[in-house]
Structure 1
Amino acid sequence: MDKARILVVEDESLLAEDIQERLKSLGYEACAVAHTGEEALAGAALAQPDLVLMDIRLKGEMDGIETARVLRERFNLPVIYLTGEADDATLDRAKPTEPLGYLLKPIEEKRLYSTIEIALYKHKMERRLRRIERWFATTIRSIGDAVMVTDTQGRITLMNPMAEKLTGWKSADAVGKPLTEVYQAVSAETRERIESLMAEALREGVVVGLTNRAVLISRTGAETPIDDSAAPIRDIAGNITGVVLTFRDVSERQRAQQALQESEERFRLLVEGVQDYAIFMLDPAGHVTSWNAGAERLLGYRPDEILGAHLARFFTPPDVRRGKPDQNLELARLQGRAEDEGWRVRKDGSRFQANVIITALRDDQGSLLGFAQVTRDITGLKQSEKQLRDSREQLRAL
C-alpha cells in the first residue's frame, strides 16, 4: 500500500522537523515542508500531497486559515489544523474551511496518527460521495423523464431540466416550495384535481402510480398528458427521508394510439362493408376470431355461430381427412402466404368452388399473431370456363 503523502505547513523550523520525523516513524511520507502560506501553495502544486498539516498562525500575508481555504478551492486537499490555542473566535474562522481535524500543540504521537488516519478515510469517503453525487446529478439531468424530489414535508429539494420544462418552473424558484404548488395534475376525464402521489408514497411506503389518465397543468397554464409514479426514498436504516416523483409527456404516444385506433376502425368498417368476399381472422391454431358480412353471406354462419370454430369447418370431409386445412396454415406460416382453390362447404351443407388466400400476421419481433383469410366464390367463373371449353370442343368437332 502506498504511503500517504503529507505536506507540513509550520513556520517554526524545529517543530516542522520534529513533525517530519514523527510522520516518517508512523509510516507516512513528509513530501514537503512550507513555512508560509505562499510556500504551502507552491509546495502543494509541486508535491501533490494527500493531506496537509496546517499551523493556524503563520507569519506573512496569509495565515493558516486563509491558506487552507485556497488549498481546498484549488486542490481539494483535506486539512488538519495545528494550533497552540483553540479560542472560539479562531474556531469560528476555521469552520468554513471544513477541516478534518484539530491537533493541539504539543502534539501527541498517538493522537497525530489517529487524526491523520481518520482524516484520510473521511476524505476518501467524501471524494467517493462527490463522484456518486456528480454521477447522479448527470444522470438526472440527462434522462428523458421528468424527476422531482421532495423531503418528508413535501417540499421540493431537486428537479431536473425535463421537470422544469413540463411544469414551467425553474429549479431555483421551485426548490423549497410545496410540491402541490408546483406540480398540479387533473384527471383527463373529470378535470378534477388529482391527489398528490407523494402523500400516498409517504403514507404507504411503496411505489405508487396513477391508473387513470392525468393531465399536468404548467405554471403558464399549458396542459400535458402524463404518466407518473412516486417512490419513497429510504436511508440506510430504512427510514423514509423523502419521495422521488417521475413523470413523462405521453402526448406522442396518445396521438399514435389515436391514429392507430382510427386506422383500425377504418379497416374494420372497410372489411365489414365488403359483401363479395369472406374476410376473417384466425388465431395461430386456426380458430376463427373475426367474421365480416361477406363471410356470413358466403358461408351462412352468423358471428356468434362461428367464432372459435376451426378452419376445418369449411372443408369437405375428404380434405379434412387429408389434413388440408393444417397444410394450408403451415404453408402460410412458412412462406408468409398460401393460395388454394378447391371445394368449400357452407353451413347448409352446400358446396362451392373457392379461391382462398391465407396471409400470416406477425408482430415486430416476428412472432406469429395469427392469419388473415380472404375467400372468394369462383363457382360461376369455373362454370364459365367449362362452358368455354365445351364450346371450343364443339367447334373443333364441326
Structure 2
Amino acid sequence: MAQAGMGAADGAGELAALRDERDALAVEVARLRGLLAQPETSQLAGPTRSTPAMRDVLFAAVEKTRMPMIVTDPNLPDDPIIFVNRAFQELSGYSAESLVGRNCRFLQGPDTDPEQVVAIRAALAEQREIAVEILNYRIDGTPFWNELYISPVFGTGGEVLYHFGSQVDVSSYRQARQSLARSEARYQAIFDGAVDFAIVATDSSGLVTNWNVGAERVLGWSASEMIGEPVDRIFVPEDRAAGRADLEMGRARESGWASDERWHLRKDGSRFWASGEMLPLRGEAGRVDGFLKILRDRTAERARDEALAETETRFRTLVEVSPQVVFFADATGCVTYCNPFWHAYTGLDHDETIGDGWIRAYPPERRPTVMEAWRLAVQTGERYEVEMPLRRARDGADRWFLVRGEPVRDAAGRITSWIGVAIDIDERRAAEAQHAFLLALAATLLALSEPRAIMDAAAAALRNHLDVDHVGYGELAGTVAAEASGAGVRAALLRGETVVVPAAAARGAPTWPAAIHVPLLRDGALRAILQVRSNARQSFRPDEVVLVEEVAARTWDALVRARAEDALRELNSSLERQVAERTRNWRRCGGRAAISCASPISTETSST
C-alpha cells in the first residue's frame, strides 16, 4: 500500500507539472489567436504544409513544449492533422509524415470506450472544450491511457480555425491510483474488520478522523458521534485532567511508539481495562499528520491475571510456611528451589541444595539408591516415589520421609519442570512397625504358658525391637538404687506412673543410661517393674514409651492368663483325684449305700 501510494504521488506530481505547462501554453495560445486571423497567417491552413516547414510563432511555441500536442483543421475534410510536435511523435511512435493529413481516430482501438468517442464528437460539433481519459494505442499496438484535452481556436469572426489538442500519458499514474485505491480498500476492510480491536485515527491535534467498527463495539460511541471529537473523551476523568492523551501523543511523536495499559471509559460511563499503543501517522517529509490509537478490552484478562497472581501468592505462602519439604526441579531433574522447611531441617542452604546438592541430606549408604531412582523417573517421565530417611541437622537423627515428584507438562505433553514434596512419615512407620511388633509378640506369648518363659520372650522381643542394651523385670529396691533421684522415682512407681529417666553424666558424679521404668500393679500393690535401658541413647521418644507400657500390659495379661490356666489345670487334677477316691470308697462300701462313706468333693484351689 505504501509503494502504491508513493507511485501515485509521483505520478500525480508529474501530471500536475504537465497540466501547469499546458495551462501556460493555453495562455500563450490565446495571445497568439489574434495572429491567426491575420492574412499573412492564413497560409497555415493547408494539408500540404508539413511540420518541419512550420515557422509560425504558434507552432513554434507548441513545438518546443514537452507535452504531446497536435493541431487539426476542421475546415478540411475529416478534420485532418496539420501539425504534430515532437513529443506527440515520441508518445505515439508515429512520424510526422505518417500523421499529417489523417484524422486522429486511428489512435482508437478495440478497447476504447465508444461513449468517450461519442462525447469527443459532440464537443467538436458544439465547438467547445473537452477533457477526457481515453484508451489509445501506439503504432506497435500497445495501449496507453491518454488524458486528452481538445480546444477550438476561433478566428476574429468567431469561426473555428483549428482544433488544438494535447495528450498526457497517464497510464502509470492511473495504475498507481488504482493500486492505491485497492490498497486503501484493503486497509479499510482490515480497519473495519478488526472488530476485537478499537482502532482510532486522529489528526495531529488529537481530533478523531476515523473510528472503526471495533471502536464502536468496544467503546460504545458510533463513528458519527466521535469523528471531530477529541480522543481524550475515551480516557477516564483523572487521566483527562492529567493530560494523558497529550502525553501519549508526545511520546509517540518523539519515539515512534507509545504503549498504553490503563483504565478507559465507555459511552455508558463504565470503565474497562485496555491495553494498546499509539503510533504516529507521517505525511510528506516525515511530518506527523496524525496518530493511530489501537486498544483492546482486557478487563477479563486482567481479572484472570489478578486471580492467578493471588493464587500464586497463596501457593507461594503455603509453600513457604509448609511443615513439610516442597521442591522444584527443571526438566532435566536439577533442583532449582526448596522451601524453608528443607533448609531448616537439613541445614543445607540454597546454593548447597540446587542441582544435585540435595543428595547430601540422605545418609551416605542410601544416596546411590535415591539418586538412581530420581534419574530413572526423570528419564521415563514417571512419578518419583521413595521412602527414605533424611538426616536432621539439629541432632543427626534420621527420620523417614515419603518423597514424591510429579512432572509438569505443557499442552504438547512435554515435561517442563518437576514439583515434589517430602512428607515426614517417621511416626507412621514407627506406628506400623510397633503394630507389627505387637502382633508378633501376641502370637509368641500366646504359645507360652510358663510365666518365666513369657517374661523372657517379651523382654527379648522388646530389646531387639528398640535396639537397647537391657530389658528385664525387677523389684522396686533395685530400680531406685540405680537412679540419682531415688525418692522421686519410688513415689512415682508406687503411684503406678511410668518413669522415663534421661541419660546423665557429670564430672565427679555417677553416670546412668537412659531408662524407662513401667510399674506392674496388682490389686493396687506394686508387684514388679519392667525396665528398659540404653547406653547409646540420650532419651526415648514418647511413642517408644507407649510401646513399652503396652508390652508391659500385654505381658501382664499373658501372665494372668498363664496363671489362670495353671489354676484350671490344678483344679482339674484335684477333681480327678477326688473322683478316683470316691470311686474307690464306693467300691469298698459295696454299692450305693456306701456313698455316704466318702468325703465330699472340694473345688477350692490355692490362691494365685
User: Smaller-chain TM-score range?
Assistant: 0.5 to 0.7
- Which of 101, 105, 109 pairs up with 2:163? 105
> In the alignment, what sits opposite 2:173?
122
Alignment of 1:314-329 (within 5 A): 314-320=361-367, 322=368, 324-325=370-371, 327-328=373-374
1:362 CA displacement: 3.8
SS in 1 for 2:147: strand
1:151 CA displacement: 2.6
Is 1:374 the equivalent of 2:421?
Answer: yes
Q: Structure 1 33/364 Cα, relative in aligned 2: closer, same or farther at 3 Å?
A: closer
Is 1:300 the equivalent of 2:345?
Answer: yes
> In the alignment, what sits opposite 1:291?
339
SS in 2 for 1:373: strand
Is 1:169 the equivalent of 2:217?
Answer: no
Is 1:345 the equivalent of 2:391?
Answer: yes
- Which of 101, 110, 135 pairs up with 2:186? 135
> In the alignment, what sits opposite 2:305?
257
Matches of 2:329 and 2:111 in 1, distance apart?
86
- Which of 183, 199, 207 pairs up with 2:234? 183
Q: Structure 1 265/191 Cα, relative in aligned 2: closer, same or farther at 3 Å?
A: farther
1:333 CA displacement: 5.9
What whole-Å deviation, never above 9, does each CA across 1:40-78 have from its counterpart, x for those lacking one? 17x99xxxxxxxx94571669xx967x98xxxxxxxx97
- Which of 236, 241, 245 pairs up with 2:289? 241
> In the alignment, what sits opposite 1:194?
244
- Which of 204, 211, 214 pairs up with 1:159? 211
Matches of 2:410 and 2:293 in 1, distance apart?
34
- Which of 412, 417, 430 pairs up with 1:383? 430
TM-score (norm 1): 0.66
SS in 2 for 1:343: strand
* Contact 2:346/2:391, CA 8 A, preserved across alignment: no
1:369 CA displacement: 4.8
Q: Structure 1 33/186 Cα, relative in aligned 2: closer, same or farther at 3 Å?
A: closer
| Count, aligned residues | 332
1:165 CA displacement: 3.0
- Give the structure with the larger helix fraction: 2
Matches of 2:182 and 2:334 in 1, distance apart?
58
> In the alignment, what sits opposite 1:218?
266
> In the alignment, what sits opposite 2:109?
31
* Contact 1:283/1:370, CA 8 A, preserved across alignment: yes
- Which of 114, 136, 147 pairs up with 1:80? 147
> In the alignment, what sits opposite 2:381?
335
1:231 CA displacement: 1.7
Matches of 1:86 and 1:196 in 2, distance apart?
59
Q: Structure 1 202/252 Cα, relative in aligned 2: closer, same or farther at 3 Å?
A: closer
Matches of 1:147 and 1:231 in 2, distance apart?
11
1:222 CA displacement: 2.2
* Contact 2:408/2:415, CA 8 A, preserved across alignment: yes
Letter in 2 for 1:339: E
Q: Structure 1 81/138 Cα, relative in aligned 2: closer, same or farther at 3 Å?
A: same
1:337 CA displacement: 1.8
* Contact 1:230/1:245, CA 8 A, preserved across alignment: yes
Letter in 1 for 2:420: Q
> In the alignment, what sits opposite 2:493?
none
* Contact 1:234/1:241, CA 8 A, preserved across alignment: yes
Matches of 1:205 and 1:55 in 2, distance apart?
58
1:334 CA displacement: 3.4
User: What is the alpha-carbon root mean square deviation over aligned residues?
Assistant: 4.6
Q: Structure 1 31/223 Cα, relative in aligned 2: closer, same or farther at 3 Å?
A: same
SS in 1 for 2:244: coil
> In the alignment, what sits opposite 2:115?
40
* Contact 2:253/2:288, CA 8 A, preserved across alignment: no
5+ residue gaps in structure 2?
1-73, 83-88, 96-105, 134-143, 155-161, 448-608
Q: Structure 1 26/262 Cα, relative in aligned 2: closer, same or farther at 3 Å?
A: farther
**Matched residues, percent identical?**
17
Matches of 1:83 and 1:207 in 2, distance apart?
51
1:249 CA displacement: 0.9
Q: Structure 1 174/206 Cα, relative in aligned 2: closer, same or farther at 3 Å?
A: same
Letter in 2 for 1:381: R
What whole-Å deviation, never above 9, does each CA across 1:107-143 have from its counterpart, x for those lacking one? 4xxx54xx13xx1111101011011111111111122
More contact order relative to length (CA 8 Å, sep ≥ 6): 1
Matches of 2:201 and 2:122 in 1, distance apart?
41
SS in 2 for 1:14: coil
* Contact 2:276/2:294, CA 8 A, preserved across alignment: yes
TM-score (norm 2): 0.45
Q: Structure 1 221/389 Cα, relative in aligned 2: closer, same or farther at 3 Å?
A: closer
Q: Structure 1 380/221 Cα, relative in aligned 2: closer, same or farther at 3 Å?
A: closer
Q: Structure 1 24/274 Cα, relative in aligned 2: closer, same or farther at 3 Å?
A: closer
Q: Structure 1 202/278 Cα, relative in aligned 2: closer, same or farther at 3 Å?
A: closer
1:343 CA displacement: 1.9
* Contact 1:185/1:216, CA 8 A, preserved across alignment: yes
Matches of 1:258 and 1:383 in 2, distance apart?
45
Q: Structure 1 340/15 Cα, relative in aligned 2: closer, same or farther at 3 Å?
A: farther
Q: Structure 1 377/198 Cα, relative in aligned 2: closer, same or farther at 3 Å?
A: closer
